[in-house]
């Protein structure tokens, strides 16, 4: 039996129920609730941790809201592991024929959302962006995911050099 990967499972759920998912990171209406719930609940299920033990409030389950640093680390490491386990075919499916990093516009995207969730939750731990990136590159063994991240980073740097003030978000 093929082992399941909850990142991939969530992606299929997103494809099926797109109207329930909002991946626009600046959305103040829904706070990207569905995708964040999926990531959190599927992570603790795999870690065999009960929701009541996490001290989290329902509907506020973003990775950077996890106050328990051990729990947050466990979930970040698990998501990184799941990303590492994706094969090229699966990643290409997520990216579609028009990968977001090749577009001029800032498009919401499933894989980008997950990478940004990791990035933002780690942001509070590192004093410098370079250290954060070093951590991600060290813990990501999947070359294709690393490639996507490099593309995002390049876009971030180019945007920063060419535009008016932007936020910390890519
Ligand atoms: Zn929304």
Residues with CB under 5 A from ligand 1 (ion): 22, 27, 29-30
What pTM, to 2 d.p., does this model score?
0.91
110 or 155: which carries more pLDDT confidence? 110
**In this model, does residue 169 exceed pLDDT 70?**
no
Q: How many domains does the chain have?
A: 1
Residue 42 lies in a domain: yes
Q: What is the pLDDT of residue 164?
A: 58
Show the tokens assigned to 4. 């399941």
13 or 168: which carries more pLDDT confidence? 13
Distance 169 CA to ligand 1 centre (A): 16
Distance 138 CA to ligand 1 centre (A): 32
Residue 71 lies in a domain: yes
Residue 88 lies in a domain: yes
Domain enclosing residue 50, as ranges: 6-162
Residue 1 lies in a domain: no
Q: What is the pLDDT of residue 12?
A: 97
Quick check: 154 and 140 in contact, CB under 8 A?
no
Residue 142 lies in a domain: yes
């Amino acid at each position: 039996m093929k082992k399941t990967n909850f990142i991939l499972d969530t992606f299929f759920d997103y494809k099926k129920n797109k109207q329930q998912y909002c991946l626009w990171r600046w959305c103040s209406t829904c706070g990207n609730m569905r995708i964040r719930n999926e990531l959190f609940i599927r992570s603790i299920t795999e870690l065999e941790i009960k929701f009541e033990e996490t001290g989290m409030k329902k509907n506020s389950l973003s990775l950077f809201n996890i106050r328990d640093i051990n729990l947050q680390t466990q979930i970040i490491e698990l998501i990184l592991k799941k990303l590492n386990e994706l094969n090229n075919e699966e990643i290409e499916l997520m990216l579609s024929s028009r990968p977001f990093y090749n577009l001029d516009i800032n498009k919401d995207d499933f894989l980008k959302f997950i990478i940004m969730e990791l990035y933002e939750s780690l942001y509070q731990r590192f004093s410098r962006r370079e250290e954060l990136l070093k951590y991600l590159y060290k813990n990501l063994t999947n070359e294709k995911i690393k490639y996507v991240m490099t593309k995002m980073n390049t876009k971030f740097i180019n945007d920063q050099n060419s535009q008016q003030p932007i936020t910390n978000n890519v």
